[in-house]
Amino acid sequence: MPPSRPLSLITGASAGIGAAFARDLAARGHDLVLTARRVDRLEALAEALRRQHQCQVTVLPCDLADPAAPEQLCNALAQRGLHVDWLINNAGYGVPGTFEATAWKTHADFIQVLITAPAELAWRLLPGMRQRSYGRIVNVASLAGHVPGSAGHTLYAASKAYLIKFSQSLALENRHLGINVCALCPGFTLSEFHDVTGTRDLVNKMPSYMWQTAEAVVQESYEAVERGEIVHVTGRFNRFIKSLVKLMPDRMALWLSARESKRYRHAD
């Protein structure tokens, strides 16, 4: 049985899907641990949630690009006697441009944040979940993990495909112990992501039916993880795209990806 007030750790909680997870879970009676780099945003969100939902919110800012950050974060939880029931591995961003045109340090930080940190946090928090026979892990992947890669954001689709496969194996290893693991795969989501990557002007030209709000994505995610769904693509349009690409010959799918990606990605 879940605890009366589950404790959820949300990475990348200062904006977008992470902040939407915080608001949704607080409304459902969860206490929260919020982490990201932007302390001012975390504190403002935490104070608003405390007032609105009378929940306990702990702010533990950190930069997951630092290889020591996951261990330090888990040590801070242990020092406060906090036992995580829900882990939302949401922290992420895009690195626009071609692979060789970007400094390796930038790529290394990206791999640390989107691949290594989620895996390490799951590894460090799973023993407690297994001991309590209850846990939920949501790894925020992307529709990009299901479709062919494209020029620009070279590591992005690869990292999301990793999170999908990682979630599948982790789910099969732990579902008999009361732990559900779900790879959440949204498509285009209304957030700051495209402002950060400098592609806002490109994606603004795309039709409205291709977009979802962060709140809609989180609502679908909660329902999917609770019913034990291991991989969930949000939105009917995105599920159609995934199914269509799966049926296509690889050569056609790559051609289509190369053509369409010019609408929303910078290749140089």
Indicate which residues carry an active-site annotation. 156
Helix (H, G, I), strand (E, B) or coil at 167: helix
As given in the structure block, the two tokens for residue 246 are 């799966």
Look up tokens 């990806």; give the residue.
257
User: Cα 237 to the chain's mean position, in Å?
Assistant: 20
Beta strands in the chain (DSSP E): 7-11, 31-35, 57-59, 86-89, 135-140, 179-185, 188-190, 211-213, 231-233
Q: What is d(CA 50, CA 32) in angstroms, rounded to the nearest whole number?
A: 10
Strand order in the sheet with 135-140: 57-59, 31-35, 7-11, 86-89, 135-140, 179-185, 231-233
**Can you give the length of the chain in residues?**
268
> What does 116-145 look like in DSSP terms, one character per residue?
IHHHHHHHHHHHHHHHHT-EEEEEE--GGG
